[in-house]
Amino acid sequence: MSIKSILAKPFAAFVNRSVSKWANNPIETQNKVFQNLITQAEKTEFGKDHDFKNIKNHHDFVKRVPIRDYEALKPYVEKVVAGEENILWTGKPLYFAKTSGTTSGAKYIPITAESMPNHIKAARNAILLYIHETGNSKFVDGKMIFLQGSPILKEENGVQLGRLSGIVAHFVPKYLQKNRLPSWETNCIEDWETKVDAIVKETLPENMTIISGIPSWVQMYFEKLQQKTGKQVGDIFKNFNLFIFGGVNYEPYRAKFESLIGRKVDSIELYPASEGFFAFQDKQNEKGMLLQLDSGMFYEFVLAEDFFKENPKRITLKEVELDKNYVMIISTNAGLWAYNLGDTIMFTSLKPYRVIVSGRIKHFISAFGEHVIAKEVEHALKMATKTENISINEFTVAPQISPESGLPYHEWFIEFEKVPENKLALAQKIDAAMQQQNSYYLDLIEGKVLQPLKITIVPKNGFKNYMKSIGKLGGQNKIPRLANDRKIADALKNQIIVK
């Protein structure tokens, strides 16, 4: 055991005490964050426009600052991008994290000197809390990889611009730089398939102990390793015992991953975004991720079912309840104010506050009033396949409003590792799980408004080919689990060879 792995344990214990301090005083912590944000931004253009000097509490804030998405905040952001200072936050941001928007085109999310450290600290703390809980620190001596975007940055009016994962690559602590892969040159490769091939070549001879990234893209890396060697990943990397992931629910991929690895490995779930690092898994056997309350972000919540009503009620942490679907609204020290992130979350614990991501407020199916969310379809698939030897690579769901015959239905597009013998039986199990979870869906089935769901089998690499066709292969791009239209469904239909 190296000095690094020995020293990791007392450091992990110190960080655990620090995190416990704010996690055990959540309301006081959030109140301090709120007051600090308002005070620091009082003299910005946004602060003056919204009378920050007279905001004393959350009620005052709600009266003066409406909920905005990126499109509504864009006039302010454009001034920041143009090089103006003291617009949303004091001074200029350090970076713009460039992300792809749906209605707005490219989105430029500011990252400031105050917000940047929180992205790094939260990722570090997730690993340290794992060390503290399990006592396992040997992995710090091995090589670790994060499948991410290019670290090459551009400049926009004196501010560096790039993908969040590329920006974060510039902040890897010195004590980890020797352990980190891929190399800088490989990380700069833009074409995703070429990049993964290069990563395979670099990592094959190494002692890989941590592998992290979005599950769908790590899966591609694992498959290429297997194709190259004919071995399972766990045999190639005998000391690989920790998978760190974020961006999507791991459960639909778990069976496939365990097949590719050849054994179970511990995992840590993260909840990062360009707008902030919101939560991480702090316990191996507890459901949900610890909400980051001391990271320069103030949280508000709106019940998802009320979100599109006029003036929906905005509540703070002290009013939330377990197992309710909330839209998460954030105000941050990067200058985002009452900002609709677009994510929906549910609380799995209130002592401490832990959350799961239940979906996207715009990614749902309610073509018939069923209000189906991502958490429900993912859980239904898990329940339907848990006793079967069925491995799923990817899936998405869309409404079929005008079928050639019969009632409308939900169409599930699934790419299997191996196509099941009885597709109809699997569809019936998934449908039963959906009816059990969602009373609206049950009523529509029983009321003969909808017929039970149908599965359409997507050929191998069908989702990969679709993402490539729209220029979103790799990086931080993900397939939406749900859509209220058939844009993705119709594109996938063109690839269908098995009905």
Using a cut of 0.85, tell me whether the model's pTM lies above it.
no
Residue 408 three-state SS: coil
CB contact set of 32 (below 8 Å; sequence gap of 6+): none
What one-letter code names the amino acid at 114? E
pLDDT in tens, the chain (499 residues): 677 778 889 999 999 999 999 999 999 999 999 999 999 999 999 999 999 999 999 999 999 999 999 999 999 999 999 999 999 999 999 999 987 654 446 789 999 999 999 999 999 999 999 999 999 998 888 999 887 778 888 988 889 998 888 888 888 777 667 788 888 899 888 787 888 899 999 999 999 999 998 887 888 899 999 999 999 999 999 999 999 998 777 877 788 899 999 999 999 999 998 999 999 999 999 999 999 999 999 999 999 889 988 899 999 999 999 989 999 999 999 999 999 988 899 999 999 999 998 887 877 787 787 878 888 898 999 899 887 788 888 999 998 988 888 888 999 999 998 888 899 999 999 999 999 988 889 988 988 889 999 999 999 889 989 988 888 776 667 788 888 788 889 899 887 644 4
* pLDDT at residue 1 in the model: 63
* pLDDT at residue 447 in the model: 80
CA distance linking residue 364 with residue 373, whole number of Å: 5
Asked whether 279 and 141 are in contact (CB, 8 A), the reply is: no
Tokens of 463: 């989702």
CA distance linking residue 421 with residue 1, whole number of Å: 49
Nearest to 273 by CA among 464, 122, 94: 122
> DSSP class of residue 188?
T
Asked whether 96 and 167 are in contact (CB, 8 A), the reply is: no
* pLDDT at residue 105 in the model: 62
* pLDDT at residue 163 in the model: 85
CB contact set of 425 (below 8 Å; sequence gap of 6+): none
CA distance linking residue 32 with residue 29, whole number of Å: 5
Asked whether 148 and 166 are in contact (CB, 8 A), the reply is: yes
> What angle (nearest 5°) sits at the alpha carbon of residue 137, between those of residues 131 and 138?
160
Domains of the chain (ranges, CATH numbers): 1-296+330-358 (3.40.50.980), 374-493 (3.30.300)
> DSSP class of residue 294?
S
* pLDDT at residue 317 in the model: 97
Reported residue count of the chain is: 499
